[in-house]
């Protein structure tokens, strides 16, 4: 069995510093006011971890007396070409990351996050496959010499368990994230795709994966390993396909957790402390966030893991499609007059605001209202948008004061005393069907009580469309609601002009 190489104390210290930076980054990201500092700390921690890992692979030149005809650079214990490949890979990845970060629009951020999760999962699978094919290079095997035949490497039992679980979680993360990306990008319908007996199928496949991991740890046969890979890719698709669009923010959070655990498992295989710490932090924080969001949506945390939550076998189509009822249409001038006469306006942003890139115009409108002595607040639903914190990020980008932004539980009671609720591009998170219609796919999800305001101004492109969950909103047809049908950015800009 290979003996573990002694750990350089400075390498261990550097990984410790990186881990502390990651913890402080998570703490900073918990609040919009400190999110930029948290982001910088995360970047510093990752930079330390990457540089330290490169340092551990630097060629160590043997300076002991030897054949003088052998050049000194050929006496290195690590191949210089290997170091060059590592640096080239980092350069390519950095170039792709920088280009993507500069070009990506905030509206596409959820898709980007899902794509990143898929890459983390795929990387975990590739590392696991490499370790299985060449365990000696990873230092996880012992050499066995049979009485007859060629010697072969036997992977350590613990390493086989780590490898099997890491590959399984990575494959689930990859395929699940691909489906999430397609749904978030609009390339696949956001409606649940329900397979008959899906829960039995999912549980059966998950049980089979665990049994195969045990079989692989016991025998090291080839077929259990590749069966784990194939079934894990399949279960990733099966878990995410049945989940409806309204619940996608929880899916993004859950996949984030999965990617962390996959990285941690591969950290054990590679013997890399930084990967173990980082993966555990991402995995645990993602799981906690998923749990918090499930509570906010009145969903079962177990049903999230099992897949297909927020959907019924009948498709939850009750209330789906637009309702043919009378409604009132307003203009930018009407909206400007009503809000300027109000004492308090609560703005509720949704994904429609993100698509229209209306956050800057919205902040300008809020500033205009404040000049008229109107109290302006922003109400954020936990799952508004397509990923956790999506609306907070967009408002922060537009320099909306953090003190004006409130979460659902902190502001929901104020709608009854509010003159105007200004809803811009939100549907499912303001739909009272979640409280009254047991056949609705969003039933049980806490929503913002905008209908209790004296007047509701609702920006929507047209009355024919429905929310991401596929259900219409009864608020559109209430007597105290005025529909503002237009592109969100254009309508807000016209309201600002009307205020002038």
Residue 201, pLDDT score:
86
Which residue ranges form the domains of the chain, and what is each CATH number? 108-315 (no CATH), 332-499 (3.40.50.1220)
Least confident of 26-35, 461-470, 477-486: 461-470
Residue bearing the bigger pLDDT, 248 or 148: 248
Least confident of 120-129, 366-375, 378-387: 378-387
What's the number of CA atoms in the CB half-sphere (13 Å) around residue 266? 27
Residue 319, pLDDT score:
46
Model pTM score: 0.74
pLDDT band at 378 (very low <50, low <70, confident <90, very high): very high
Taking residues 199-203, report their average pLDDT. Answer: 84
- In Å, how far are 342, 426, 465, 489 from 349, measured between CA atoms? 19, 6, 17, 12
Taking residues 454-465, report their average pLDDT. Answer: 85
Q: Is residue 29 within 8 Å of 37, Cβ to Cβ? A: no
Taking residues 454-476, report their average pLDDT. Answer: 80
Catalytic residue among 79, 247, 334, 428: 428
For residue range 59-97, list pLDDT tens digits in order.
655 555 555 554 544 444 556 667 778 888 888 988 888
DSSP string of 112-172, one letter each residue: HHHHHHHHHHHHHHHHHHHHHH-HHHHT-EEEE--SSS--EEEE-HHHHHHHHHHHHHHHH
- How many residues make up the chain in this entry? 500
pLDDT band at 317 (very low <50, low <70, confident <90, very high): very low
SS3 sequence, 377-404?
EEEECCCCCCCCCHHHHHHHHCCCCHHH
Least confident of 124-133, 311-320, 471-480: 311-320
Question: Does the annotation count 428 as an active-site position?
Answer: yes
Least confident of 134-148, 323-337, 400-414: 134-148
Q: Is residue 84 within 8 Å of 54, Cβ to Cβ? A: no
């Amino acid at each position: 069995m290979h003996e573990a190489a002694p750990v350089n104390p400075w390498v261990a210290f550097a990984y410790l510093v990186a881990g502390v930076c990651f913890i402080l980054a998570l703490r900073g990201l918990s609040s919009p006011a400190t999110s930029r500092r948290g982001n910088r700390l995360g970047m510093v921690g990752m930079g330390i971890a990457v540089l330290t890992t490169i340092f551990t692979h630097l060629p160590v030149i043997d300076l002991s007396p030897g054949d003088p005809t052998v050049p000194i650079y050929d006496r290195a214990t690590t191949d210089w070409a290997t170091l060059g490949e590592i640096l080239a890979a980092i350069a390519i990845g950095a170039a792709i990351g920088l280009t993507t970060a500069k070009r990506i629009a905030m509206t596409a951020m959820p898709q980007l996050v899902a794509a990143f999760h898929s890459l983390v999962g795929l990387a975990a699978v590739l590392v696991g496959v490499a370790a299985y094919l060449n365990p000696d290079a990873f230092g996880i095997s012992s050499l066995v010499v049979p009485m007859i035949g060629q010697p072969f490497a036997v992977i350590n039992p613990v390493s086989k368990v780590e490898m099997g679980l890491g590959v399984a979680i990575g494959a689930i993360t990859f395929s699940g994230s691909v489906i999430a990306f397609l749904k978030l990008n609009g390339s696949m319908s956001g409606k649940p795709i329900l397979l008959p007996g899906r829960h039995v199928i999912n549980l059966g496949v998950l049980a089979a994966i665990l049994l195969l991991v045990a079989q692989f740890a016991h025998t090291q046969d080839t077929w259990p390993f590749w069966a784990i890979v194939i079934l894990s890719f399949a279960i990733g698709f099966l878990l995410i396909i049945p989940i409806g669009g309204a619940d996608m923010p929880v899916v993004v959070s859950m996949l984030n957790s999965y990617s962390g655990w996959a990285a941690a498992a591969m950290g054990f295989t590679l013997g890399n402390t930084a990967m173990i710490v980082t993966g555990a932090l991402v995995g645990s924080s993602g799981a906690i966030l998923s749990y918090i969001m499930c509570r906010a949506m009145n969903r079962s945390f177990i049903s999230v893991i099992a897949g297909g939550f927020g959907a019924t076998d009948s498709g939850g189509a009750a209330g789906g499609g637009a309702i043919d009822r009378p409604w009132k249409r307003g203009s930018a001038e009407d909206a400007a007059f009503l809000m300027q006469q109000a004492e308090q306006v609560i703005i509720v942003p949704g994904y429609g605001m993100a698509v229209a890139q209306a956050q800057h115009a919205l902040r300008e409108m809020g500033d205009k209202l404040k000049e008229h002595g109107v109290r302006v607040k922003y109400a954020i639903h936990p799952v508004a948008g397509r990923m956790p914190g999506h609306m907070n990020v967009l408002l922060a980008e537009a320099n909306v004061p953090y003190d004006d932004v409130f979460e659902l539980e902190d502001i929901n009671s104020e709608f009854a005393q509010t003159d105007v609720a200004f809803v811009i591009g939100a549907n499912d998170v303001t739909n009272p069907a979640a409280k009254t219609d047991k056949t609705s796919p969003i039933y049980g999800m806490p929503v913002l009580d905008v209908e209790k305001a004296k007047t509701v101004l609702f920006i929507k492109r047209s009355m024919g469309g429905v929310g991401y969950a596929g259900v219409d909103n009864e608020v559109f047809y209430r007597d105290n609601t005025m529909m503002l049908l237009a592109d969100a950015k254009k309508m807000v800009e016209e309201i600002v002009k009307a205020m002038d």
